[in-house]
Amino acid sequence: MPAKTMDELVSLCKRRGFIFQGSEIYGGMQGAYDYGPLGIELKNNLKAAWWRSMVYERDDVEGLDAAIIQNKYVYKYSGHEDTFTDPMVDCHECKSRMRADHMKDIKVCDNCGSTNVTPPRDFNLMFKTNVGPMVNEESYTYLRPETAQGIFTNFKNVVDSTSRTLPFGIAQIGKSFRNEITPRNFIFRVREFEQMELEFFCKPGEDEKWHEFWVNARKQWWLDQGLAEENIQFEYVTGDDLAHYSKSTVDILYKFPHGFEELEGVANRTDYDLGSHTKAQEEFGLSAKVKKNEHSTAKLAIRDLEENKWEVPFCIEPSAGLDRGLLAVMTEAYTEEELPNGTSRTVLKFKPHLAPIKVAIMPLKKNKPEIVALAKELKNKLQKLGLGRILYENTGNVGKGYRRHDEVGTPICVTVDFDSIEQEGAPVTVRDRDTMEQIVVNAADLPAYVINYFINQN
């Protein structure tokens, strides 16, 4: 059964080195978290799975890593300067600031009940910064609030360097920054986070077909990462809730400990973005309403060879928060089990390809040189397989080692004991995390066994 409360996850994350409060020794900073030794492994594994699915396993997607700091005109023409806001209400009595759309009554403070509150006012969520030695109105720009704009501004560069034709996509994973007024629910809503975004470009008229395709493909990918079907829902965004650029949006919701919330959004952005950033907008008959662009130096269009004309493609955007994804995967994997002997254990039942530690090698006696030497030799051999992190666990207590690795989600534990150094074939004991079953494998056969295990489990 998945984790029921966020407190269960927060406690486990700190205790086992997944996630720490940012700047904790100075009292912490709201909405900022640091990924520890196991957290960064899990995060990298989830990113690798996304990249493999989006780029390596498809023949119509290219990768990109755009700069975090970009020209300020990017955000002028993207619409972020005008529309990337939250409505805020200030209470004159308790001095708290609240998002109007989260309040029970915008005329009454949620914290103290006072009616001495301001009318809702728009608050821009972008972090403003200055570039260069002079601080003035000409030197400002922003930390990017999303990775998407770097894809749109590089559209022509990618097309020219790869000779891509429609349909095709550009994928990117990277940091984004939003000055959230009310960060909450652990790493679900934070000020600094990573996004996994695909901008998939297609012909106008084919956009609805591709939108439906990507909604279903993204749901299936999350199922492949271990999320349960019953914990996933679709929310069809309509009316005033649609973003200004969107023709249609489907949010993929997951049942986090605090309820169903957005895990990933799949939006039909039409020709809004490329149309906003292109010069000579009047030449393309754009369907989206865009701000007149007086600064762009490039036409962000592609030639339709069948009709022999230039057109601005429509764009389908599956956009997922990596931190939210990690939280969902941890929530789903969290399991508390009662054992036949009356004890209990906590297990993170990650899919093997996501597990932070793939295999733990444990010597039965840490002060027995022959056992330690064989354990280290096996660790080094398995590490060279390229599966991920292989850990040499030299605690000297195998039982406690099993429980620790259950709790951090290690799929396989290998114990090197006296039989390993005394018997022919150097047999070692291999324990499965989920079943707790143990089998004996000769040391020479261990690499092949481990490879087959991960192939069959994934």
Q: Summarize pLDDT for 331-387 with one digit per residue, the tens.
A: 999 999 998 888 999 999 999 999 999 999 999 998 899 999 999 999 999 999 999
Task: Answer whether CATH 3.40.50.800 is correct for domain 357-456.
Answer: yes
- DSSP code of residue 231: G
Q: Summarize pLDDT for 194-211 with one digit per residue, the tens.
A: 999 999 999 999 999 999
Q: What is the DSSP string of 134-197?
A: --STTSEEEB-S-SHHHHHHTHHHHHHHH---SSEEEEEEEEEE---SS-BTTTTB-SEEEEEE
Q: What is the pLDDT of residue 184?
A: 87
Q: What is the pLDDT of residue 135?
A: 86
Query: Residues marked as binding for substrate?
Result: 99, 146, 193-197, 317-321
Q: Report the sign of the C-alpha dihedral through residues 82, 85, 89, 90, in that order.
A: negative
Q: Summarize pLDDT for 217-244 with one digit per residue, the tens.
A: 999 999 999 999 999 999 999 887 887 7
b/e per residue, 135-144, with b = 16+ CB within 10 A? eeeeeebbbb
Q: Summarize pLDDT for 70-87 with one digit per residue, the tens.
A: 999 999 999 998 887 778
**458 vs 455: CA distance, rounded Å:** 6
* Average pLDDT value for the chain: 94
Q: What is the pLDDT of residue 1?
A: 63
Q: What is the pLDDT of residue 342?
A: 87
Query: Residues marked as binding?
Result: 99, 146, 178-180, 188-197, 262-263, 317-324
Segment among 102-106, 139-143, 264-268, 272-276 with least mean pLDDT: 102-106
Q: Where in the chain is the domain with CATH 3.30.930.10?
A: 37-78+144-329
Q: What is the pLDDT of residue 97?
A: 84
Rounded mean pLDDT, 398-418:
96
**Are 233 and 219 spatial neighbours (Cβ–Cβ below 8 Å)?**
no
Rounded mean pLDDT, 377-399:
94
For the record, the structure tokens of 39 come out as 């957290």
Percent of the chain, pLDDT > 90?
A: 84
pTM over 0.85: yes
Under the banding of pLDDT at 50, 70 and 90, the label for residue 180 is confident
What are the backbone angles phi and psi of residue 111, rounded to the nearest 5°?
-85, -45
**Are 251 and 318 spatial neighbours (Cβ–Cβ below 8 Å)?**
no
**Is the model more confident about 268 or about 95?**
268
The answer to whether residue 276 scores a pLDDT higher than 80 is: yes
Q: Where in the chain is the domain with CATH 3.40.50.800?
A: 357-456
**Is the model more confident about 103 or about 352?**
352
Extended beta strands in 48-164, E state = 61-63, 85-90, 97-99, 121-124, 128-130, 140-142
Q: What is the pLDDT of residue 107?
A: 92
Q: Summarize pLDDT for 139-167 with one digit per residue, the tens.
A: 899 999 999 999 999 999 999 999 999 99
Q: Please give the order of strands across the beta sheet that includes 121-124.
A: 97-99, 85-90, 121-124
Q: What is the pLDDT of residue 458?
A: 65
Q: Summarize pLDDT for 437-458 with one digit per residue, the tens.
A: 999 999 999 999 999 999 987 6
Rounded mean pLDDT, 298-310:
91
Q: Residues for the chain: how many in total?
A: 458
Query: Residues marked as binding for ATP?
Result: 178-180, 188-193, 262-263, 321-324
**252 vs 2: CA distance, rounded Å:** 18
Query: To which CATH superfamily is domain 37-78+144-329 assigned?
Result: Bira Bifunctional Protein; Domain 2 (3.30.930.10)
